[in-house]
Amino acid sequence: MDNLTLLQRIVVWILPVIFAITVHEVAHGWVARKYGDNTAFMLGRLTLNPIKHVDWVGTIILPGILLISGTGFIFGWAKPVPVDPRNFKNPRRDMAIVALAGPASNLLMAVGWALIARVGVTIGAQTEAVSLPLIYTGIAGISINLALALINLLPIPPLDGSRILTGILPGKLAWQYNRLERYGFIILLLLLYTNALGAILAYPMFVAQKIFFSIAGL
């Protein structure tokens, strides 16, 4: 995508980014409702309307800065869907499943974008006006969804990976571990600023992209 202008990159990335972040949050709320918590539903958050989920920093500003800077690594977040574990029959286990739903939705969307890119590859060079947008948007969709899935699986509170780990750890250790949540955002920003985040995710991202790009026929 290096040959695209800034405007073209924005057009290519905007829908994949919005859908990746929005569906991720809706997936949390949808699974939570299946396990007995209607909080997100009652607050009108079980909708694919991105306006309901937009966080100006995480959904607009940060992805925009990363896109403009040409880092090649884009991620963001939406307003977290509210979940009340007190409504679950087994709060720790059910909360872990709800947390896993977000990254799982991103992997499913990555498959969907890979199939869209494959359609573009199948159409071929004779209709580049149609095939190239499908391929470029598919690549963007794969990349953003894999990035969101991998980042959210990191065991840094309050990322989804920490909720999953909390469901596995013994009760007292889980409580002590979750005390890190107040520092989680700072830790994440430091990892991003020092490029440590990219180093941690580089190999998993390489392997995952190889798999999904093969599905896309790229």
Q: Among the options 25, 37, 94, 160, which is catalytic?
A: 25
Give 6 or 135, the one with higher predicted confidence: 135
Q: Does residue 93 belong to any structural domain of this protein?
A: yes
How many structural domains compose the chain? 1
Instruction: Give tens-digit pLDDT for 129-156.
Output: 788 889 999 999 999 999 999 999 999 8
Confirm whether 1 is domain-assigned: no
Q: pLDDT of 168-182, one tens digit each?
A: 888 888 888 888 888
Is residue 11 a part of any domain in this protein?
yes
pLDDT at position 30 is 96
Predicted confidence at residue 70, as pLDDT, reads: 61
Per residue in 49-61, pLDDT (tens digit) is: 888 887 777 777 7
The per-residue pLDDT for range 106-120, each reduced to its tens digit, is: 999 999 999 999 999
pLDDT at residue number 164: 93
* Catalytic residue check, 128: no
Q: What is the pLDDT of residue 100?
A: 96
Q: Please write the tens of the pLDDT for every residue from 61-103.
A: 777 777 676 655 666 677 889 999 999 999 999 999 999 999 9
Q: Is the pLDDT of residue 161 over 80?
A: yes
Average pLDDT value over all residues in the chain: 87
DSSP string spanning the chain?
-TTS-HHHHHHHHHHHHHHHHHHHHHHHHHHHHHTT--HHHHTT-SS--GGGT--IIIIIIHHHHHHHHT-S------PPPP--GGGSSSHHHHHHHHHHHHHHHHHHHHHHHHHHHHHHHHH-GGGHHHHHHHHHHHHHHHHHHHHHHHHHTSS-TTSHHHHHHHTTS-HHHHHHHHTTHHHHHHHHHHHHHTTHHHHHHHHHHHHHHHHHHHHHT-
Q: Which domain holds residue 98?
A: 6-216
